Amino acid sequence: MANHAVLSNAQVLVIDDEPDLRTLYELTLLREGYRVETAGCVQEARQLLASHSFDVVITDMRLPDGMGTDILQDLKTQQRTERCIVITAYGSAENAVESLKAGAFDYQTKPVDLKQFRTVVASAVQDVSPRHAPQKTAAGSRPPETATRSLSGAAALARLAGDSASMRNVKERIAKVARSMAPVMIRGESGTGKELVAGALHANSHRASGPWVAVNCSAIPENLLEAEFFGSKKGAYTGSTQDRPGFFQSASGGTLFLDEIGDLPLAMQSKLLRAIQERCVRAIGAAQEEQVDVRIISATHKDLPAEVSTGKFRQDLYYRLNVIDIFVPPLRERREDLPVLCEALLARIAEESGMPVPDLSEQALQQLSTQLLPGNVRELENLLHRAVALSDGEVLQFDDLQPSNTSPAPLEYTPPPTVRPFSTEISLPTDLQSHLDQQERDILVQTLKETGFNRTVAAQRLGLSLRQIRYRIARLKIDAPLSPGESPDA
């Protein structure tokens, strides 16, 4: 019986040169309620595609007059909306990866498992189903379901603040690859926003209404990894009183985000590879394997090719996960994003704490731009959080902002004009506050002496207001005579 009655008029094109297989696929799809047409070679397929559009195209990789990737290429250059599923020979990982890179929605390996085949076609059809949904809206406008979905996808992209060329690239790439099944690997330093990128990929995919399961691989004790990933059955080990789904089962129909993938131990890497290749997992204590339909997005701050070459990361798993690669640049390479990032982060902080959005003065922004921020956007967020918590007015100050010298200055860092980065080679004081107080006192005393103890002129020289310099003189207990005409309690 068809599971997808509502989508029953979806049109599928099957391309395979083996008549038996063609018939098998055709019958399977007809029983699901789809309308099916078939072709035995590239040329025949092109004729059908030229005559009308389909929802899904399923093509064998090797065809008598060309390759399945030729069809993919056609669809791409003609900017057609058909989702393409490529069927590759068993064990031919390169072909599978190649077709995903070329824009295939998904692939299946031979011999095709019909249950899996139906699931994959159903997700591909669902992805394009709005065209077939009852058109309740005005011609040209989107049916409600798609509108909501694309809105949340757009919102997820908008959450990624930044207008620099590199961030625009990242966003374009997200929009481009979100809707395929291809695994994506996100690289970037800690705190650059990799998880936000992963979330935007999910929100813009056809799985947006499915589950989103984010896992920090480095946070799970090694002996629990298998149970956490693949689940466990009741009684599988002492104390397991009920069946527990693993990450794969929980993410079924959605996206599994594997953060810090580089920290996964080798033994677990092999198990993960198998699960990805076979699309099956076996819960601990289970007799049977179960099929899982998840899209994998992984992230790492490590140099995984280097880990591969030292044998710490499996090369085959690396290739499986890294079909599509997205690099999130560090903040120091997109300093121009600082103002809009601050604005977005402050708006978020204010919303979370139910307070009005504080203003960031030019001066405060200047102060921030002197920071190296090796912790990237997370560090910036923490600084802003602190400033908001400590500020008493609506305009933020960073009175005690210190140079970030916790990690070496990156070589390619170019400071913005007029702002000098702090040297990382200063000798570090043991008591920072008294060290800074002493420096401030020396500067004030020297300026006061040079201006004949005229506080107004000294303040002007140092870019302070009269009130500020008076406050500092008092705080640092500087013994300065009053300037002529100045009242002691002014």
Ligand X SMILES: Nc1ncnc2c1ncn2[C@@H]1O[C@H](COP(=O)(O)OP(=O)(O)OP(=O)(O)O)[C@@H](O)[C@H]1O
3-state helix vs strand vs coil in the chain, percent to 5: 45, 15, 40
Torsion over CA: 454, 459, 462, 463 (sign) = negative
Task: Determine the 3-state secondary structure of 26 from DSSP.
Answer: helix
Q: Which is nearer to ligand X, 194 or 279 (CB)?
A: 194
Residue in 61, 76, 67 with CA at minimum distance from that of residue 21: 61
Q: What is the closest distance, in whole angstroms, from the C-beta atom of residue 175 to ligand X in the complex?
A: 15
Using CB under 6 A as the binding rule, whether residue 170 contacts ligand X is answered as no
Using CB under 6 A as the binding rule, whether residue 343 contacts ligand X is answered as no
Count of residues that bind ligand X according to CB under 6 A: 19
Q: How distant is the alpha carbon of residue 424 from its chain centre?
A: 31
User: Which x/- pattern, by CB under 6 A, does the window 263-302 give for ligand X?
Assistant: --------------------------------------x-
Q: What is the closest distance, in whole angstroms, from the C-beta atom of residue 381 to ligand X in the complex?
A: 5
Q: How many CB atoms lie under 10 A from the CB of residue 324?
A: 19
Q: What is the closest distance, in whole angstroms, from the C-beta atom of residue 186 to ligand X in the complex?
A: 8
Q: How many CB atoms lie under 10 A from the CB of residue 172?
A: 11
Contact range with ligand X by CB under 6 A, out of 26-34, 85-93, 200-208, 337-345 = 337-345
Question: Pairing mode, if any, of strands 324-327 and 295-300?
Answer: unpaired
Using CB under 6 A as the binding rule, whether residue 473 contacts ligand X is answered as no
Q: Which is nearer to ligand X, 227 or 299 (CB)?
A: 299
Contact range with ligand X by CB under 6 A, out of 19-27, 84-92, 102-110, 338-346 = 338-346
Q: How far apart are CA 481 and CA 197, in angstroms?
A: 59
Q: How far apart are CA 147 and CA 234, in angstroms?
A: 42
Q: Which residue is nearest to ligand X (CB)?
A: 193
Task: Determine the 3-state secondary structure of 60 from DSSP.
Answer: strand
Contact range with ligand X by CB under 6 A, out of 192-200, 202-210, 417-425, 470-478 = 192-200
Q: Is 177 left (phi over 0), alpha (psi -120 to 50) or beta?
A: alpha
Instruction: Please pick, from the candidates 164, 192, 322, 367, the single residue that binds ligand X as defined by CB under 6 A.
Output: 192
Q: What is the closest distance, in whole angstroms, from the C-beta atom of residue 345 to ligand X in the complex?
A: 6
User: Are the beta carbons of 10 and 132 closer than 8 angstroms?
Assistant: yes
Q: Which is nearer to ligand X, 12 or 167 (CB)?
A: 167
Q: Which of residues 374-413 bind ligand X (CB under 6 A)?
A: 377-378, 381
Using CB under 6 A as the binding rule, whether residue 330 contacts ligand X is answered as no
Contact range with ligand X by CB under 6 A, out of 117-125, 188-196, 318-326, 426-434 = 188-196
User: Which x/- pattern, by CB under 6 A, does the window 207-246 give for ligand X?
Assistant: ----------------------------------------
Using CB under 6 A as the binding rule, whether residue 334 contacts ligand X is answered as no
Task: Determine the 3-state secondary structure of 102 from DSSP.
Answer: coil
Contact range with ligand X by CB under 6 A, out of 56-64, 137-145, 183-191, 217-225 = 183-191
Q: How distant is the alpha carbon of residue 32 from its chain centre?
A: 35
Q: How far apart are CA 376 and CA 193, in angstroms?
A: 9
Instruction: Please pick, from the candidates 120, 157, 161, 459, the single residue that binds ligand X as defined by CB under 6 A.
Output: 161
Q: What is the closest distance, in whole angstroms, from the C-beta atom of residue 268 to ligand X in the complex?
A: 19
Phi–psi pair at 242, nearest 5 degrees: -150, 165
Using CB under 6 A as the binding rule, whether residue 162 contacts ligand X is answered as yes
Torsion over CA: 364, 365, 370, 372 (sign) = positive
What are the start-end ranges of the H helices in 298-337? 304-309, 315-321
Q: Which is nearer to ligand X, 219 or 411 (CB)?
A: 219
Q: How many CB atoms lie under 10 A from the CB of residue 413?
A: 12
Q: Which is nearer to ligand X, 27 or 347 (CB)?
A: 347
Residues 6 or more apart from 317 whose CB is under 8 A from it? 269, 270, 272, 273, 276
Using CB under 6 A as the binding rule, whether residue 332 contacts ligand X is answered as no
Using CB under 6 A as the binding rule, whether residue 188 contacts ligand X is answered as yes
Q: How many CA atoms lie within 13 A of 372 on its CB side?
A: 17
Where do contacts with ligand X occur on this chain (CB under 6 A)? Answer: 160-162, 188, 190-196, 259, 301, 341, 344-345, 377-378, 381
